[in-house]
């Protein structure tokens, strides 16, 4: 884990209220694994950093960012050459079994941020990868043209404006059959539904939580698991879907 003052390389809006923020932070990019995140400082006047999943760690370190409040709006306003204070990589990340040949990645909305990183790595390892992306409407769907070649992509929108019409979970029964392992990032409601649908395959989910420190010191991010209370920032954010006490969170 490193703390870096990183220059912004680029910051582009590719979808409404959504930005691809790329910074120059080689020491963090070199260590980053899919599913890990960074705590990003939003500038002067902000005390708490914001957690953002690592979206790409190649030439630069990239985040896929949606504006939901003051902090994310400040990050969306960064320009090339501005400096941003980043701590990372943090958390455990997804764990792919060496023998898993066929992976299913399930992204609800912004869940494509860490899963696109996982898809790129798994394809380089010559695994077969399907990414299913769901959202309310087409302006919430990650740009398919930015995804790597060789990836099987299924898009599902609730209003049918792109891809299949319906809820992403409607299409899971058909998709899970060929998967050795399933990885997901999305809202808790989606995980609750997945838990009922996928009963015979290992599923890893990335949990969202309010974070203070991002490093295990403040307990703001505690979630309840079969092994007792766990900190999403340090023990997660990735957990086995069976380990979370869904009825108690
Ligand atoms: C491990 C992890 C990885 C994340 N990765 C990404 C990512 O790659 N891209 C991205 O856009 N966002 C990601 N988030 C969510 C992101 O951290 C929040 O959207 C951000 O902190 C909001 O800050 P703000 O000041 O703009 O909003 P605030 O003004 O603090 O809050 C505005 C609204 O945003 C929601 N919100 C704020 N913080 C969180 C949070 N931690 N979890 C869930 N909802 C929240 C609440 O509904 C709140 O009402 C991630 C969160 C976690 C825990
Ligand atoms: S955010 Fe402080 S312990 Fe997790």
Percentage of the chain lying above the pLDDT 90 cut: 95
Counted residue by residue, the chain has a size of: 249
Q: How far is the CA of 103 from the centre of ligand 2 (A)?
A: 30
Q: Whose CA is nearest to atom 21 of ligand 1?
A: 50
> And the tokens for 224?
């309840």
Q: What is the DSSP letter of 143?
A: -
- Centre of ligand 2 to C-alpha 23, Å, is 24
User: What b/e readout covers 186-212, taking b as 16+ CB neighbours within 10 angstroms?
Assistant: beeebbebbeeebeeebbbbbbbeebe
CA atoms of 31 and 39, how far apart (whole Å): 15
What residues are paired with 154 via a beta bridge?
132
pLDDT band at 59 (very low <50, low <70, confident <90, very high): confident
Best residue for ligand 2 mutational test, from 88, 221, 239 (most atoms within 8 Å of Cβ): 221
Pocket test for ligand 2, best of 220, 230, 236, 237 (most atoms within 8 A of CB): 220
Q: What is the pLDDT of residue 227?
A: 96
The pocket around ligand 1, CB under 6 angstroms, is made up of 37, 50-53, 63-66, 68-72, 110, 113, 208-211, 237
**% of the chain exceeding 70 in pLDDT:** 100
The closest-lying atom of ligand 1 relative to the alpha carbon of residue 65 is 11
Domains and CATH numbers, the chain: 2-90 (2.40.30.10), 102-206 (3.40.50.80)
pLDDT in tens, 147-187: 999 999 999 999 999 999 999 999 999 999 999 999 999 99
Q: What is the mean pLDDT of residues 86-95?
A: 98
Q: Please, which pLDDT band fits residue 136 given cuts at 50, 70 and 90?
A: very high
Q: What is the pTM of this model?
A: 0.96
């Amino acid at each position: 884990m490193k703390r870096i003052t990183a220059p912004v390389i680029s910051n582009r809006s590719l979808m409404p209220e959504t930005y691809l923020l790329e910074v120059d932070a080689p020491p963090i990019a070199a260590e980053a694994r899919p599913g890990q995140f960074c705590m990003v400082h939003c500038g002067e006047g902000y005390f708490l950093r914001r957690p953002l999943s690592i979206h790409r760690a190649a030439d630069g370190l990239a985040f896929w960012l949606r504006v939901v409040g003051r902090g994310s709006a400040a990050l969306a306003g960064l320009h090339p050459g501005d400096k941003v204070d980043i701590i990372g990589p943090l958390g455990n990340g997804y764990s792919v079994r060496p023998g898993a040949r066929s992976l299913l990645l399930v992204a609800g909305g912004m869940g494509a941020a860490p899963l696109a990183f996982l898809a790129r790595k798994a394809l380089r390892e010559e695994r077969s990868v399907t990414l299913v992306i769901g959202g309310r409407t087409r302006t919430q769907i990650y740009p398919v043209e930015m995804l790597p070649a060789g990836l099987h992509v299924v898009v599902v929108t609730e209003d049918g404006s792109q891809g299949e019409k319906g809820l992403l979970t409607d299409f899971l029964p058909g998709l899970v059959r060929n998967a050795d392992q399933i990885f997901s990032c999305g809202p808790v409601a989606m995980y609750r539904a997945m838990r009922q649908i996928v009963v015979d395959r290992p599923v890893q989910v990335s949990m969202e939580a309010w974070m203070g420190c991002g490093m295990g010191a403040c307990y703001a991010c505690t979630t309840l698991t079969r092994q007792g209370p766990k900190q999403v920032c340090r023990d997660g954010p990735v957990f086995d879907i069976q380990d979370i006490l869904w009825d108690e969170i």
